[in-house]
Structure 1
């Protein structure tokens, strides 16, 4: 593996930014110093640019196996790397869903052959596979966690059996990640709005059907289970102001047993944007009224919300062009999440150090990822170089998602990702990929 020396770059890490040289050797960060001499390898001039730890996205849907008309692990990992995401954790609702240990390992085998980014996969839970899920306890150093769709139907993965939930929460040794929306509330709301509007239902009705109450009630149940059994619970994609009262900020993240994630689209869009984007931003949980977005920003800055992620969920363009009730929920985001948040940095919403904390450090802490998430000597070299003086205009030609579209097409971000290094391998450089070395399986401190 080629050595890499990055010269005179602003290193953003652990709350501070300092100009340093960085030497990468044998896949690891060997030295960080104001000046490194005597080292040989590929030199990158970092003057005027920033070096960040690679983004760790704890929630993506890469659709393989079974839904590969939408995406594959290879295509979406490529898009991730182009956007500065070096590691991902992928969800089990593929076809077939990852509901057995064998099916889970099949996904790891696919990634080992073709994922340009580092990877991990969640074990899936159904009402009838608790014993199979608990076998993952023996793999807790090699599997990121288990995923429960609590009260929100996704294929055969709706988990509404309290005996199953009781068993999982009481016996698992892994982190439990939950999608929390109450299906009964959603169905009641759906019938109400169908009666009122019939064929006139549109994406603008989505946050009324999948409303604040549906999110809060389900999140509350998950937290009650976790508190009862002292489980490690991570609630995904918080989207409402009301849910924030369920989370605390009195403990450091490393000591929290209950944590929460906010997604980039809930920090960017509001319900006002359905007029422009329609089904393109239809997702679950729904993007809601502007006051929710403002509350989510504050909750993230106050450390009630611990991680920023994407819930990257691609569908084909034709699927999204269907009528509201037929169009699937989900937005492709993993290539543009870092640029989205860098735009917010430049707008003064938060500092680049805080952004790095939420997108790199915090996922590593929350999931106990081994030797990643920081720019530290001895750690795996997962890092991204960004130029805050360049801009990036999203076009059909530079969208790497297999689905081929993005709600950001035509938008110009006031920053650019120039280089992405994955486990010491220069995987992306100024629009070009180097795909001769796959990413690595993430390991965890059990």
Structure 2
């Protein structure tokens, strides 16, 4: 790939914004300085645009294998780089499920040939695969995923004895979907009795209630404290849950961490009447008060990571009555523009956004040489023009499913360039067909 010199950029990194140049050689960042000149480089003058480390998304569902009519590793990772996401961690509820080492390695083989962004996968824990989990090398993948509430591709772990053994028998990060199944089933029965299958969508956050989330999260955290497990609670959706997490120690010292997703920071229950099943997620989008409390916890560092939970379904699948409309939606292409909109609205600084979307996922999962603008690190970079408005419309949506919950939204900022391991993979709406992605590696002793 030779050398590439990015001139006149505003680098947002490690709580600073510095104007200067950055020199790439091969896959790596080799020099960062105020003014670099090198006659043997390809020069790209970025004219004051902002440069971030590539976003690391610790929770996506790319639907391969078995559900590829919704999306696949190629189509969704392509959408990811259009949104500035250069590394992803994909979830195990595919078909077949990623609950054996053999199936895990099959996914890695698919990604090695088709991924546009760097990749790893989470290994799914179940009620009956503990012995397989014990065989898993701690550097093999990004971590273990447990569904403590049922969701798409039901992998519910509801045997408490097994759950405790999983917590005691892995050194890896355990990422958990926390919703109490008994509470949800009782709520669902009550609403089905009144409405049948055609329950108004606005009752989704009452069926999959704040109480269901808190009950499950608090149990998982108690078990992690008892066993010493390293627990990461995915997609917080309630203000109530934020009280369970600490902000008085650095992330590196935390044994229990939390994530929030873009949709829980953007939408609220007032949007169901307009958006319907397009914003039906598990856990549910909840109240404006919940959203405000999630923002508060994100900014005061009780919540450590921002992710997408990208989970595409076709519009045909979404266009069903409540009980038949699947939960989940596509987000990777629009996550960073949405967060930049929140920057423009004064909700978050660029430095804090980069901390939560780039630095912290790298720290939390102990990624090797990613997540920061540092000499010697992989050149995963994203350039954004913060004053280039554009409207989300069918013709510029990259997802295989062809729709977005942000359709019709005008964002002030546009992603202009994405580099993956030093290669310019996306530029001004155009994709390179050269796939330069790598399997993510880890610094775990």
TM over 0.5: yes
- 1:184 Cα offset (Å): 0.4
- 1:365 Cα offset (Å): 0.7
- 1:116 Cα offset (Å): 0.5
Match in the other structure for 1:63: 63
Residues 364-403 of structure 1 correspond to what in structure 2 (within 5 A)?
A: 364-403=362-401
> What count of residue pairs does the alignment treat as equivalent?
444
- 1:396 Cα offset (Å): 1.1
- Tell me how large the CA RMSD over aligned residues is: 1.0
- 1:199 Cα offset (Å): 4.9
Match in the other structure for 2:129: 129
Match in the other structure for 1:235: 233
- 1:200 Cα offset (Å): 4.7
Match in the other structure for 1:50: 50
TM-score, with structure 1 as normaliser: 0.98
Query: 3-state SS of the aligned residue for 1:52?
Result: strand
State which drifts further: 183-192 or 197-206. 197-206
Kindly indicate whether the alpha-carbon contact (under 8 Å) linking 1:216 and 1:242 is maintained by their aligned counterparts in 2. Answer: yes
Match in the other structure for 1:165: 163
> Is 1:249 equivalent to 2:239 in the alignment?
no
Residues 92-171 of structure 1 correspond to what in structure 2 (within 5 A)?
A: 92-136=92-136, 138=137, 140-171=138-169
Kindly indicate whether the alpha-carbon contact (under 8 Å) linking 1:5 and 1:39 is maintained by their aligned counterparts in 2. Answer: no
Match in the other structure for 2:341: 343
- C-alpha deviations, 1:23-80, integer Å up to 9, x for none? 0001100000001112522211121200000100000000000000000000000000
Query: 3-state SS of the aligned residue for 1:97?
Result: coil
Match in the other structure for 2:18: 18
Match in the other structure for 1:28: 28
- 1:156 Cα offset (Å): 4.5
2:233 and 2:40 map into 1 onto residues whose CA distance is: 45
Kindly indicate whether the alpha-carbon contact (under 8 Å) linking 2:197 and 2:322 is maintained by their aligned counterparts in 1. Answer: no
User: Using a 3 Å threshold, how does the CA distance of structure 1 residues 52 and 229 change in structure 2: closer, same or farther?
Assistant: same
Structure 1: which 5+ runs fail to align? none
- 1:306 Cα offset (Å): 0.3
1:445 and 1:392 map into 2 onto residues whose CA distance is: 39
Structure 2: which 5+ runs fail to align? none
2:2 and 2:336 map into 1 onto residues whose CA distance is: 26
2:274 and 2:154 map into 1 onto residues whose CA distance is: 33
Query: 3-state SS of the aligned residue for 1:325?
Result: helix
2:151 and 2:307 map into 1 onto residues whose CA distance is: 21
1:223 and 1:200 map into 2 onto residues whose CA distance is: 35
- 1:153 Cα offset (Å): 4.8
Kindly indicate whether the alpha-carbon contact (under 8 Å) linking 2:201 and 2:272 is maintained by their aligned counterparts in 1. Answer: yes
Query: 3-state SS of the aligned residue for 1:293?
Result: helix
1:151 and 1:360 map into 2 onto residues whose CA distance is: 28
Kindly indicate whether the alpha-carbon contact (under 8 Å) linking 2:91 and 2:121 is maintained by their aligned counterparts in 1. Answer: yes
